[in-house]
Amino acid sequence: MVPRALALIVAWCLLDPSGLVWTHAAAQQVREAELLTTSGEPGRFGGQLTLTQRAEPRTLNPVIAVDSPSREIIRQTVGDLLHINRETQLVEPALARSWTVSPDGRRLVVTLRKGLRFSDGDAFDADDVVFSFQVYLDEKIGSFQRELLHVGGRPIGVRKIDEYTVQFELAEAKAGAERMFDTVAMLPKHLLEAAYAKGQLAETWGLSTDPARVAGLGPFRFKEYVTGQRVVLERNPHYWKRDSKARVLPYLDRLVFLPVANEDAQVLRFRAGEADAIARMNAENFDALAREQAGRGYVMRDLGAGLDYTFLFFNQNDPPATAGVDMPRRLRWFRDTTFRQAVSAAVDREAIARLVYRGRAVPLAGHVPPGNKRWINASLPAPVRSTARAETLLRKAGFRRTGDEPLVDPDGTVVEFSILVASSNTVLRQIATVIQDDLAALGMRVHVVPFEFRAMIDRILNTHDYEAAILALGGGDADPNAELNVWLSSGPQHLWRPAQPHPATAWEAEIDRLMRAQVGMLDVGARKRAYDRVQAIVAEEVPMVFLVSPNVLVGARAGLGNFRPVVLDHHLLWNVEELFWRTGPARSPQ
């Protein structure tokens, strides 16, 4: 007994804190914690995975990060209590070993795994959970998670029961309440408490922070950041998952993220072997890469219909104060449902799917794409392009056109407006060009205006100084609750008329009623019927002209084990702890 304990102590002292040197004793130490066992293929340890990002990250702070590069990196370094398995789309225990829901659906009790540690070795327990939720719900910090942790208009209550048990109280029953906890990162109280007390939490954990002061429960931990060049994450030696052979994950030594601003440059880097995987590329680039995949040692996969949907929508707000004479007239057209239905009837979705996406997209009738098999309203008719029907609808709405002359409204003004698209997104620009031509056949004069993305979002959500725009949404979760912000008339993402104090139209009021009702419905059948009705109203009133849902296209270097990309975000890294290289010494350190 004593010699073994002594050996344990000596070995523990000799343990290399960077995790590169494993001793038998240390492995035994971790085995005493309650680890989660994964079901993937057991793999080889070692190697590095390099990925590219469209922009540089801005912070390592999970509380305030909103931009996708930062969130993509942070996601690999944090853990959540309950996690939605991206493959099965069902909730699984993660940092929590189990959870129970009270019969009235208002109380959730979560039991944590024992013996878990943050990446710096500090113990993880209920205190960290309570602290994390305190930070997320804090009004002064204003984390975007805060909105999602409100039920029935009130923040969820968090109470520590004992060292490994936490109780959550909801103001009212919420369907799928456990899905709320997905990606809510657990924060280390021992590192952040002081900053929080001083009100400086939002400024901590920037990219220049000393890696020793950053810790999380994810498979990797922050190692280095070189401005403009790379972010490097290294294996977390205290990770709480192991494979079926009881070896502690992850297999990879390092994750490297390179900033590459432009999609074509990303494709070239992947092709040259400088990046090991690529996701979210155009169908054209995908086809170009797929043609050569056999000889060049990578594998391209078309995962089929995804959860994203692209759409054209019109400004239905009151005209902004700075508007000239033209815009109020145009906004009157946009508020006419028949006008919007005419535009929807004239758009050639099949041509968009064929020309812009090379057939790797599905035309949409409503906002739920076919990739969302569980929630789509299958009874909605498929969209049929009919210029004749569009012309009939326009005549019914009082618009007139003689021969090849431009279309005029009842007051004799030529129908002319502009469509904003993000200048960095070639796909949406191409869609705009097709739509411009489709509407020219009706006699409408449409201008395509490429705009810088953030300035465009500002115009849409804040100043309302725009006429029409094309955007894409989706990808988060298949569950309807993920899109509450879009469909509630008071929601900040109710794009055509955000943050309404009262619903402006009867049909928006009806959608509000149905969406709020389905949040509390615990019966799946009733929820589906309510959501089907929402989809039918949306397809009828056309607040957005839905276009297509693109397939999810990914690629990776051949020989990546456990590479099972999925349709949900993050397509490649959802199971990063299981990814491994089958052959060779993988890559030498950069």
Partner 1 sequence: MTRLRTAAALLAVIYAAAAAAAFLAPYSPTEQNRRFPFAPPMTLRFVDASGRFHVRPFVYSLVPRANTFDVYDEDRTRAHAIRFFVTGARYRFAGLVPSSRHLVGIDGPERLFLMGSDEYGRDVFSRLLHGAGISLGAGLLAAAVAVGLGLVAGGAAGFHGGVVDNAVMRGAELMMAVPSLYLLLAVRAALPLHLEPAETFVLLVTVVGVVGWARPARLVRAVVLSARTRDFVVAARSSGASNTRVLARHVLPETTGVALTQFALLVPQCILAEVTLSFFGLGVSEPVASWGSMLADLQRFHILAAGHWWLFSPGVAILAVFLLYYAITDALHQRLMLRS
- For binding to partner 1 (CB under 8 A), which residues are involved? 264, 267-268, 282, 284-285, 287-288, 291, 348, 351, 354-355, 358-359, 404, 418, 423, 426, 429-430, 432-434, 436-437, 440, 447-451
Q: How far is the CB of 97 from partner 1 (least distance, A)?
A: 48
The SS3 assignment for 350 reads helix
133 to 66, 137, 165: CA distances (angstroms): 18, 6, 14
Yes or no: say if 73 and 233 are a contact pair by the CB < 8 Å rule: yes
Q: How far is the CB of 28 from partner 1 (least distance, A)?
A: 51
Distance between CA 499 and CA 504 in Å, rounded? 11
Q: Pull the structure tokens for residue 109.
A: 């009790």
Q: Of 100, 102, 82, 79, whose CA–CA distance to 92 is shortest?
A: 82
114: DSSP letter? T
Q: How far lies 516's CA from each of 27, 175, 476, 480, 561, in Å?
A: 49, 11, 20, 11, 43
The radius of gyration computed from the CA coordinates of the chain, to the nearest angstrom, equals: 26
Distance CA 54, CA 188 (A): 29
CB of 443 to partner 1, least distance (A): 14
Tokens of 28: 């035994």
Nearer to partner 1, 279 or 434 (CB): 434
Distance CA 432, CA 408 (A): 22
| Residues in CB range of 384: below 8 A, 6 or more apart | 345
Judged by beta carbon, residue 289 or residue 573, the one nearer partner 1 is 289
Shortest distance (Å) from residue 440 CB to partner 1: 8
Q: What is the three-class DSSP state of 179? A: helix
Q: Could you write out the DSSP letters of every residue in 498-516? A: -S-SS-SSHHHHHHHHHHH
Question: With respect to partner 1, which residue has the nearer C-beta, 70 or 282?
Answer: 282
For residue 382, how many C-alpha atoms fall within 13 Å in the half-sphere facing its CB? 7
The residue among 165 and 418 lying less far from partner 1, judged by its C-beta, is 418
Q: Which is nearer to partner 1, 287 or 510 (CB)?
A: 287
Compare residues 167 and 423 and give the one whose CB is closer to partner 1.
Answer: 423
Q: Smallest distance from the beta carbon of 569 to partner 1, in angstroms?
A: 24
82 with 110: CB under 8 angstroms?
A: yes
Nearer Cβ to partner 1 (327/515) = 327
Closest contact distance (angstroms) between CB of 381 and partner 1 is 23
When the beta carbons of 68 and 436 are compared against partner 1, the nearer one is: 436
Nearer to partner 1, 258 or 281 (CB): 281
Burial of 413 (0-12, 13-18, 19+ CB in 10 A): middle
